[in-house]
Amino acid sequence: MSIDTRNVHGVTILDIQGRITIGEESALIRNTIRGLVKSGQKNLLMNLADVRTVDSTGIGELVSSYSHVADQGGALKLLHLTKRTRELLAITKLLTVFDTFEDESQAVASFA
């Protein structure tokens, strides 16, 4: 898994490729999110378009990241969910928790 970050109008976008699963992948997300928040970047948008697999640990890490960012006064939103990831979030009722978007410019504008 890899995570590339970029900044668009004050929003940090995390372009994630690979899998969000138990092990190093979840730890990489946790460490990346916490590092960004610690450095003052609190408007975070996770682009999941290139995420092939999300397991239960990955879902847990998304929730943990969401809570951590919110506790620090920020917001974490999701962009480009795959069909499978959307289904997992629907089954777990987490679609009601996360703000999700299919259009990057609309997602960025939602932080204003």
Do 22 and 55 touch, CB atoms closer than 8 A? yes
What are the pLDDT tens digits along the chain (112 aa)? 999 999 999 999 999 999 999 989 999 999 999 999 999 999 999 999 999 999 999 999 999 999 999 999 999 999 999 999 999 999 999 999 999 999 999 999 999 9
DSSP class per residue in 28-58: HHHHHHHHHHHTT--EEEEEEEEEEEE-HHH
User: What's the whole-model pTM score?
Assistant: 0.95
3-state secondary structure of 3: strand
Domain ranges of the chain: 2-105
Helix (H) / strand (E) containing 88: helix 83-91
- CATH fit for domain 2-105, picks 3.30.750.24, 3.30.70.260, 2.60.40.1180, 3.65.10.10: 3.30.750.24
Helix (H) / strand (E) containing 12: strand 11-20
